[in-house]
Amino acid sequence: MNSPGQRDARTGAFPGATGATRDGFWRGAVSRAVWFVALWLVIAGTDPADLAVGAVATAAATWTSLLLLPPRRSRRSPAAMARLALRFLLESVIAGADVARRALDPRLPLRLGFVAHPVRFPPGTARNVFTTLTSLLPGTVPVGEEGGQLVYHCLDVDQPVASQLAAEEAALARTFRDD
């Protein structure tokens, strides 16, 4: 196995790097290294005695991440990502208020049940991000997968859960496309 940054002698491509150019590979490596340095500084602080260990940890984490998840040509839309972040914050507030309302008003009718959603994202990162985002919908939590569909436990199955899930899926899909 080649180490990150070495081209495959037979094909001339970087290992596992779908569509990644040399510039794209190094841009991805530097970006990851910056995030790992930031994480190190948050966890360990800026004590000069720890910086050498932080540099080694950053190099090892970057190298490992490049082996496990090689850089690819990105199709993410920064504008759609910003809209998704705002939507995420809004949904978090709404979900918190809904749960608080249900906890403080025991007369609120609950219709517990499960809803299956046929997700379009293939198994992997995008589906995991979708599952995480939808866990913030008011009164729902993803509990598993059955027959290619994500299954959600709902506090009230009379709520428009299916349409909310479809809207969240569409919003996330827009972040992976160019505007």
Q: Are residues 64 and 94 in the same domain?
A: no
**Structural domain of 137:** 78-175
Q: What is the pTM of this model?
A: 0.56
Q: Are residues 99 and 141 in the same domain?
A: yes
SS3 140: strand
**Final residue of a domain: which of 40, 74, 108?**
74
Domain count along the chain = 2
**Final residue of a domain: which of 74, 89, 111?**
74
CA distance 102 to 8: 58
What does residue 68 show for φ and ψ, rounded to 5 degrees?
-80, -30
One digit per residue, pLDDT tens: the chain, 179 residues? Answer: 445 555 455 444 444 444 456 666 788 889 889 999 999 999 988 888 888 999 999 999 999 988 887 876 656 677 877 888 888 888 888 878 887 887 788 787 678 899 999 999 888 888 888 998 888 777 889 999 998 899 999 888 888 888 989 988 998 888 876 43
